[in-house]
Amino acid sequence: MKEKIFLNRYHHLKRWVPGLFRPCTYAILLKGGLLFTSLLTASLQVSAQDTASNKITSLPDVFKMAVANSVQLKIAAQNADLARQVTSVRELDKLPSVSTKIDYGYISNADIWTPSFSKHLVAPIPHQYTDFSVIAGEIIFKGNLVNNNLRRSTIEEQIAQLNVDKNTTDIKFLVAAQYLDIYRLIDQRKVFSSNLKLARYRLKNIQTMQKQGMVTQNDVLRTTLTISDLQLAIRQIDDNIVIQNRHLNMVTGQPDTNSLAPDTTLLEKKIDQQSMSYFIQSGYSGNHDLKIAGSQKKVAELNVKIAGSDRYPELSLFTGTDLQRPYTYSDPKEDVFYNVWEAGISLKYNISSIYQSPRKIKAAKIQLEETSSAETLTRQKMEVAISTAYIKYTEAQEDLRTYEHDLGAAEENYRIVEKKYFNQLALLTDILDAATTKLEAELKVTNAKVNTIYTYYQLLQSTGNIN
DSSP 122-144: EE---SEEEEEEEEEEEEEESTT
Q: 97: part of which helix (H) or strand (E)?
A: strand 97-106
Looking at residue 37, its pLDDT comes to 38
pLDDT (mean) for 124-135: 88
What are the Cα distances from residue 462, in Å, to 148, 264, 281, 288, 457? 33, 26, 12, 9, 9
Within its chain, how far is the Cα of 66 from the centroid? 10
Q: CA 372 from chain center: how many Å?
A: 25
The pLDDT score that the predictor gives to residue 7 is 39
For residue range 158-173, list pLDDT tens digits in order: 999 999 999 999 999 9
* Contacts for 18 with CB less than 8 Å, ≥ 6 apart: none
Separation between Cα atoms, residue 382 and residue 358, nearest integer Å: 36
pLDDT surpasses 70 at 355: yes
Distance CA 108, CA 7 (A): 110
Question: Which position has the higher pLDDT, 380 or 58?
Answer: 380
Q: Look over the chain and give the mean of its residue pLDDT values, rounded to a whole number.
A: 83
Q: Helices 145-211 and 71-91: crossing angle, nearest 10°?
A: 170
Looking at the chain, the whole-number percentage of residues with pLDDT higher than 70 is 88
Residue 54's pLDDT is 62
pLDDT digits (tens, 9 = 90+) for 65-110: 888 888 888 888 899 999 989 888 888 888 888 899 899 999 888 8
The secondary element (H helix, E strand) that includes residue 217 is helix 217-252
Are 287 and 382 in contact by the 8 Å Cβ rule? The answer is yes
Q: Looking at the DSSP assignment, which residues form a beta bridge with residue 5?
A: none
User: Percent of the chain, pLDDT > 90?
Assistant: 32
Phi–psi pair at 320, nearest 5 degrees: -170, 165
pLDDT tier, 325 (very low <50, low <70, confident <90, very high otherwise)? confident
Mean pLDDT of 314-342: 85
Cα 21 versus chain centre, distance? 37
Task: Give residue-wise pLDDT tens across range 7-66.
Answer: 344 444 444 444 443 333 333 333 333 333 343 344 434 344 344 346 788 888 888 988
Whether 376 has a pLDDT exceeding 80, the answer reads yes
What pTM did the predictor assign? 0.73
pLDDT tens across 384-406, in order? 999 999 999 999 999 999 999 99
Assign 4 a pLDDT band (cuts: 50, 70, 90): very low
Q: What is the pLDDT of residues 257-316, one digit of tens each?
A: 888 888 878 777 777 788 899 999 999 999 999 999 999 999 999 999 988 888 888 888
Name the pairing type of β-strands 120-123 and 56-57: unpaired
Cα atoms found within 13 Å of the Cα of residue 6, Cβ hemisphere only = 13
